[in-house]
Structure 1
Amino acid sequence: MALHFELVTPERLVLSEEVHMVVVPGTEGEFGVLEGHAPFMSTVKDGALKVYARDGAEPRIIQVEGGFAEVSETGLTVLAEKAA
């Protein structure tokens, strides 16, 4: 099972792939998303977005600045103001 994850900025599509889990720096605290997570939306604060390709793997760290995260039936989309 895999989670479809997309990271998008106003300039470009940064990442679009199937992953195990993503940990997002939400304004109310970090939250992890796996496949099958209940739908919701959250604002994103500046911080480290952690992308786990598979269970037990070291995360890929992407620094993001502001934005929104949406979990839906199709996966997780993070709309960030900036991503590096």
Structure 2
Amino acid sequence: MNLEILTPDKKIFEGEVSSVTVPGTLGSFQILKDHAPIISTLEDGNVIIRSGKEESTFFIKGGVVEAIHNKIVVLAEGTA
């Protein structure tokens, strides 16, 4: 899956991932390969990216996530 994390200022991350966990408004949820298309608002919290055995975490200040056809875009209002 391809993931992009964008803020109004810059691109925070772009690359291939095996899963991503985002802080949804109603609670965190994970997006895996072939996830159903989804658009969701995000709260302040951690975006956890897993690629193989590696794991990275980014703190975002709210935003929106869209996942469709194994392409995930996180539009964050900002980062800490």
Shared fold per TM-score greater than 0.5: yes
TM-score using structure 1 length? 0.89
> Which residue of structure 2 aligns with residue 6 of structure 1?
4
List runs of 5+ in structure 2 lacking aligned partners.
none
| TM-superposition CA deviations, 1:24-68 (whole Å, max 9, x none) | 0101111101121100100010011100011xx252110000110
Choose which of 25, 38, 41 in structure 2 pairs with 1:40.
Answer: 38
Q: 2:65 aligns with which of 69, 76, 84?
A: 69
Give % identity: 36
CA RMSD of superposed structures (Å): 1.1
Large movers: runs of 4+ above 3 Å = none
Partner of 1:50: 48
Aligned length: 80
> Matches of 1:43 and 1:59 in 2, distance apart?
23
